[in-house]
Amino acid sequence: MFLQFKSAAVFCGSKLGVDPIFAQHASVLGKLLAKHEVTLVYGGGNSGLMGVVANEVLDHAGQVVGVMPDLLIQREFRHDRLTQLHVVEDMHARKKLMYSLSEAVIILPGGIGTFDEMIEVMAWNSLSLHNKKIFIINSNGFFDLFIQQMQKLQQNGFLYSDVSDAFIIVDTPEMIFS
């Protein structure tokens, strides 16, 4: 499935969550990004799943670009080992820059911010503002209800294209790179 992208925006939680598989998948994803020489573009934090992915990429000699708004510098514990850090004005500027710096998008479990980022990039794809591949790592069924909701949107005539065109669901990070 690996489509030879050189950079990927990764959206995920600034917390670890309760299921150990979330951190395990974040760790594996980081190692795979470094192995395949894919630059990580992410929120710039050193906590939660974000920190796990970034640390694995860095520990395996990969490149990591952080994008963080001023207001989150202290709250998300800015990572101090990044290859590059962009400090932006607000969350919208963060998402826009992350999208522009990446060739693909990978989603891991997370909270409201992760869902906001995921929905926005899907909306931008549907509006043909870009056509980046979006991979959702459905760790232990975390996104099952979201996938069902997307199918319900399609069944009720609210999507312009087939829901299967919106994203690629994988159960493990390895499936993205196989």
Q: Where are the domains of the chain?
A: 7-176
- What is the model's pTM? 0.95
Single-letter residue type at 75: R
CB 42 within 8 A of CB 98: yes
Q: Which of 37-46, 124-133, 146-155 is least confident?
A: 124-133
pLDDT score at 79? 85
Alpha carbon 155 to its chain's center: 27
- The CATH number that domain 7-176 falls under is 3.40.50.450
Non-local CB neighbours of 98 within 8 Å, separated by 6+ positions = 9, 41, 42, 43, 67, 117
pLDDT score at 78? 81
Cross-strand partners of 84? 65
Q: Is the pLDDT of residue 2 over 60?
A: no
pLDDT score at 157? 95
Q: Indicate if the alpha-carbon torsion angle 11, 5, 126, 147 is positive or negative.
A: negative
Q: What does the block give as tokens for 58?
A: 């860095």
